[in-house]
Chains A and B, each alone.
Chain A
Amino acid sequence: DQQVKQNSPSLSVQEGRISILNCDYTNSMFDYFLWYKKYPAEGPTFLISISSIKDKNEDGRFTVFLNKSAKHLSLHIVPSQPGDSAVYFCAASFNFGNEKLTFGTGTRLTIIP
């Protein structure tokens, strides 16, 4: 049972444009969401997170939006750069600290120069 889903396995975006990665979840008990970026042969790198009490969090070129009623979140990267080419995972956890992460299936983002 995949509780966190990323329906787009891959996405190609022109350099300088906006990249939008989407993520849906089914468990309404999730209350904290994170985005990780992963290069081949490396571990996931933490990018940005958002608590369920917020609907937007911004950090430089990265913005995460959360729509709790739709159980949907998205990561916006603007402007997209070639170094952003990687696999992006969204992840969710429950209310308490030290909770395991439940990952989505990942989206491979390719930035076209």
Chain B
Amino acid sequence: AAGVIQSPRHLIKEKRETATLKCYPIPRHDTVYWYQQGPGQDPQFLISFYEKMQSDKGSIPDRFSAQQFSDYHSELNMSSLELGDSALYFCASSQLLSKEQYFGPGTRLTVT
């Protein structure tokens, strides 16, 4: 069965640079969620989109922005990167009214 695809899997950036993370949801899933997992921490919700509209927002810094496109894929744009942004970034997708979210393999971002 098709799963959530995230790219790239690994990304190394320097402080103050910009990064773009991509997420391709499971086919026919209309909702995308982004989570950030710091070292030794639980995943923290960042932002979600339903039908290309932002549906909820968590503790996402103003330096980050995201959108969902017409083909339902989503991109998380991160600017002015800081060392503390180093983390695993997961994307998850679900179908309307379904509470089960299916996660991608994650993007490991390292900021040096």
Per-position binary interface string of chain B over residues 22-47, scored 1 when its CB falls under 8 Å from any chain A CB and 0 otherwise: 00000000010101000001111100
Taking a contact as CB atoms under 8 Å apart, the answer to whether B56 and A97 are in contact is no
- With both chains docked as a complex, state the minimum distance between the C-beta of A31 and any C-beta of chain B, in angstroms: 9
Taking a contact as CB atoms under 8 Å apart, the answer to whether B45 and A101 are in contact is yes
A45 at interface by CB-CB < 8 Å = yes
- Interface size of B by CB at 8 A reads 29
CA gap between A102 and B35 in the complex, in Å: 10
Most buried by B among A43, A45, A97, A101: A43
Instruction: List B residues at the A interface (Cβ < 8 Å).
Output: 4, 6, 31, 33, 35, 41-45, 48, 50, 55-56, 58, 90, 92, 94, 96-106
- Report, as a range, how many residues of chain A touch the other chain: 20 to 34
The residue that A89 contacts in the complex, of B31, B42, B55, with Cβ under 8 A, is B42
Q: Scan residues 34-56 of chain A and give those whose CB is less than 8 A from a CB of chain B.
A: 34, 36, 41-46, 49
CA gap between A84 and B33 in the complex, in Å: 26
- The residues of B that contact A49 with a CB separation of less than 8 Å are 99-100
Taking a contact as CB atoms under 8 Å apart, the answer to whether A32 and B105 are in contact is no
- The residues of B that contact A41 with a CB separation of less than 8 Å are 105-106
- The residues of B that contact A106 with a CB separation of less than 8 Å are 42
